[in-house]
Amino acid sequence: MSVVNCWKNVAEFLKEFGIEEKMNRTPNKMVDPIPFDKDEKHNESHSVHASNWYTVLLNVDEVFNPSLRV
């Protein structure tokens, strides 16, 4: 999935919950950055990175929702 497709999915998901997306669309501290909502160039998926990101999200969720711990 390209960055632009991922960006659209996230924006649509937030919109479904009534959240207006106001994120900076251009990556920071990069040479020749491509705005996320226009980036068709980058479309690789790395399962290790995705798994690590999922673990980060779970840990963050535990911080913000401690009553939900099992």
Tokens of 26: 């251009």
Domain ranges of the chain: 3-68
The verdict on pTM exceeding 0.95 is: no
- Please give the pLDDT value at position 42: 79
pLDDT, one tens digit per residue, over 21-59 is: 888 888 888 899 998 888 888 777 777 888 888 899 888
Matching residue, tokens 């705005």: 35
Helix ranges (H only) for 1-70 are 3-16, 47-64
**For residues 33 and 26, is the Cβ–Cβ distance under 8 A?**
yes
- What sign does the dihedral 12-13-16-21 (CA atoms) show? negative
Report the distance separating Cα 42 and Cα 3, nearest Å: 6
